[in-house]
Amino acid sequence: MIDRIYGAGLASHPPGVRLNVQLYSTNYRAALTLRCADDGMPCGSLTTNLPEVELASDEFVVSAGWNLPRDLAASFLEAGLFAEARHVPYGDGFASVWRIVSQELLDAITTARTEATARPRRRVAA
């Protein structure tokens, strides 16, 4: 698994953050969450789940500007993990879609999807 610190020294997150790979349970899209590098506390998400937006399996909608400082999001692009793919209309504006280019991240997401689809889904009581 990836265990690197990103964004260290930025005004918004001086200790930096660690990127965690998870999945949204409703559609198994990549859910990339962030934890503070110094204390491990959750500090945000790089992704947001917009099921109505068409995405390829290696794409996600970026939450930057919604609940994540833009300078921290930019550090992920600078690290070469992602590439900006396009902007899609959403609400009164546009949402950014990024493509995952890191093979290490793609492998982690594939593994998570394989494990998630192998488990039976829990049923919700009516």
Segment 21-60, tens digit of pLDDT:
999 999 999 999 999 888 889 988 899 999 999 999 999 9
Given a cut of 70, is residue 13 above it in pLDDT? no
Looking at the DSSP bridge assignments, the partners of residue 84 are 98
Mean pLDDT confidence for 62-81: 80
The Cα–Cα gap between 73 and 43 comes to 13
Mean pLDDT confidence for 97-123: 89
45 contacts: CB under 8 Å, gap ≥ 6: 31, 32, 33, 34, 63, 67, 68
The Cα–Cα gap between 97 and 100 comes to 10
* pLDDT for the residue 12: 63
Given a cut of 70, is residue 92 above it in pLDDT? yes
- pTM for the model: 0.84
* pLDDT for the residue 72: 82
The Cα–Cα gap between 13 and 23 comes to 24
Percent of the chain with pLDDT over 70: 87
